[in-house]
């Protein structure tokens, strides 16, 4: 997905840049969800 974003930002078409921004937002949301999920799952195991 980062390569897709990089390739679309480099194109001179407004639609391609819009798709790249949408992909970047989707990637950030995915990372935030996975980070939160990892924190929730690992919360009870720290002190044991």
Total domain count, the chain: 1
* Residue in the structure block whose two tokens are 């919360």: 43
What pLDDT digit, counting tens, does each position of 29-43 carry? Answer: 999 999 999 999 988
Q: Is residue 26 part of a domain?
A: yes
CA distance 13 to 23: 16
pLDDT in tens, 13-27: 999 999 999 999 999
Give me the pLDDT at residue 48, please: 56
- State the residue range of the domain holding 21: 2-43
Residue 48 lies in a domain: no
Task: With respect to residue 24, please indicate whether it lies within any of the assigned structural domains.
Answer: yes
CA distances 45 to 26, 31, 35, 40, 41, Å, are 30, 22, 16, 10, 8
């Amino acid at each position: 997905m980062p390569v897709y974003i990089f390739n679309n930002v480099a194109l001179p078409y407004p639609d391609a840049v819009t798709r790249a921004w949408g992909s970047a937002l989707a990637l950030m949301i995915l990372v935030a969800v996975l980070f939160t999920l990892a924190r929730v799952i690992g919360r009870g195991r720290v002190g044991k």
